[in-house]
Structure 1
Amino acid sequence: MPNDKGNRRRFGAVRQLKSGRWQARYRDPATGQLRSLGQTYNSKRDAEIALSRVEADISRGVWTDPDAGNVLFGDFMTAWLRDRKLADRTRERHESVVRLHILPAFEARPLASITTARVRSWRTALLAAGVGEPTVVKAYQILRAALNTAVDDELIRRNPCRVKGADSYDVPERPVLSVAEVFAAADAISRRYRLLVLLAAFTTLRFGELASLRRRDVDTVHCAVKVQRAQAEMQTGALFDKAPKSDAGVRLVAFPIELLPDVERHMEMYAGAGRDGHVFLGPQGGKLRRSNFRDDWIKARTKAGITADVHFHDLRHTGNTLAAAGASLRELMTRMGHSTPRAALIYQHMVNGRDREIADRLGALIRKTRGDVDS
């Protein structure tokens, strides 16, 4: 029989087992059930020291159930994703990153066994395997967010995602086109996509925002477009319109009056019928898809003599750069659809204000570049 005699304490108890080693026990502060520490000790003193640590953790409010960390990461991650409120496309991306890059390393591990050293080794292995740095950063951010929840749920005491610099990366500087190069690309592409190129550069709308524009969103009187939604494409190929990521995404953006002939021509020849008709359609009259448009853009870029690896999204970067001269930070943030301190700023009538001035300055650049072409 274990020897309990003379070993009673104010908190918990220690006892010597038949093996000669010592065991420490205490009452679970949550359930009142008797618990034993997960190991035995060489001496009574060692057992008492271990018990004192548990007592101190309970008194400081930092004690966690030692069995909680035995939850398998794979089970926890499944529940975390299920309970997370995410947009459909974001959920699809999260699930893909988790399946491909996180679960293979941690699925069968208990939460408590995931250490900072293991997280660091996992990240290093992904990079060494050729996984792109943006994807590795995204995987790390998702893992950290999930384990933050594990800390909140008191399953682990501290988040092991503590690798300095792992949550960010240096984004390479993207190329900026000149106004002449923008028009060269617009001239080289199929006529049905000419306005798409011009608006991408001179309103800085994203591809998804352009693809979701309806006739009623285009104001030819004030030369402006209203952004109210963005088209998203699932991995299955399904297309749907989604709300902007924030209130700042809903905005009115002025375009240079110099583009008005292109806008009117496009609306007459290529836009869908009715007020709800899409402004931009595919060649067969269906919805415009990023995947189908990519080849058209590459061919036009090449035909225009643009040798740099310019992505279509770089037109947005080009437009933001051109618009920056003379615009305040808030005006740029509003035009770009970035969050501002007050969402109400998005809904002000901007076409008669500073955004109109930004568009007019862009128009002056167009006239200066295209003057000898249009004369």
Structure 2
Amino acid sequence: MQITIKTRPTKRQGLAFDLYYRWKGERYRPLLGYNLTKQEAEQRALELIAKIQTGNQLEAQPKSLSPTFRAFLPVYWQTMRIKNRIDMRRPESIIEMHLLPRFGDRTLASLTAEDGLQYITARLKAKAAHWTIRREWNVLMRILNLAVDFDKLDKNRLKRVELPDVAPRTRVATDEEL
């Protein structure tokens, strides 16, 4: 019987120990614990393998518990209220008009960089101004980064999507400013 125990660093708990094991065509990848010695990790691995083989506890590859975009919005609004943001209408209209129709029923974990690129392309085809697209994108990024902070998403997969270049606005000073 081959036992594979892999380690990975975590941000909060230290070094995590994961068991990689196959039984009757199913793949199991349970977490053994954090900051274990080699002997402790092997002992826990043997205990988990016994449970897997007797069918007592673990199931193969648990499904992602990532919420949908729509289901995560109350957390976003709560943080906006805590931060005491003055202008709630702009993000509300962006979410209602643009983000919910496209991403509303999708789980956060299912969003990919290609989805972000398709969104930007669709907004450009709709003749939205480049600054408008950036504002909408910033609202989407805030929601996804918040999901990462609240451990509802492992990482923000849309963070590296390129946005259209914008020219700086030229502003003429008023008479009072001169």
TM-score interval for Structure 1 and Structure 2 normalised by the shorter chain: 0.5 to 0.7
Match of 1:112 in 2: 109
Question: Cα–Cα, structure 1 residues 72 and 28, in superposed 2: closer, same or farther, change >3 Å?
Answer: farther
Q: TM-score, normalised by structure 2?
A: 0.65
Unaligned runs of 5+ in 1: 1-5, 39-65, 178-200, 205-322, 324-375
CA drift of 1:28 comes to 6.7
Q: Equivalent pairs: percent with the same residue? A: 25
Q: Give the length in aligned residue pairs.
A: 142
- Structure 1 vs Structure 2 CA RMSD: 2.9
Question: Cα–Cα, structure 1 residues 75 and 12, in superposed 2: closer, same or farther, change >3 Å?
Answer: same
In structure 1, C-alpha distance between the alignment counterparts of 2:109 and 2:161, rounded to whole Å:
17
Match of 2:122 in 1: 125
Question: Cα–Cα, structure 1 residues 128 and 75, in superposed 2: closer, same or farther, change >3 Å?
Answer: same
Contact 1:7 1:15 in 2 (8 A): no
2:161 pairs with 160, 163, 166, which one? 163
Q: The residue matched to 2:22 in structure 1 has which SS?
A: strand
Could you report, residue by residue, the CA deviation over 1:221-260 in whole angstroms, capped at 9, with x for unpaired residues? xxxxxxxxxxxxxxxxxxxxxxxxxxxxxxxxxxxxxxxx
Match of 1:146 in 2: 143
Q: Give the number of the structure whose alpha-carbon radius of gyration is greater.
A: 1
Where do 4+ consecutive residues of structure 1 move more than 6 Å? none
Unaligned runs of 5+ in 2: 6-17, 35-47, 49-56
Q: Where is the helix percentage greater, Structure 1 or Structure 2? A: 1
In structure 2, C-alpha distance between the alignment counterparts of 1:7 and 1:170, rounded to whole Å:
59
Question: Cα–Cα, structure 1 residues 9 and 163, in superposed 2: closer, same or farther, change >3 Å?
Answer: closer
Match of 1:210 in 2: none
Question: Cα–Cα, structure 1 residues 141 and 9, in superposed 2: closer, same or farther, change >3 Å?
Answer: closer
Could you report, residue by residue, the CA deviation over 1:155-175 in whole angstroms, capped at 9, with x for unpaired residues? 223222322245x6224435x
Match of 1:36 in 2: 60
Residue 48 of structure 2 is aligned to residue 24 of structure 1: no
Matched residue type, 1:99: E
Match of 2:22 in 1: 15
Q: TM-score, normalised by structure 1?
A: 0.33
Contact 1:27 1:35 in 2 (8 A): no
Question: Cα–Cα, structure 1 residues 129 and 86, in superposed 2: closer, same or farther, change >3 Å?
Answer: farther
Matched residue type, 1:79: V
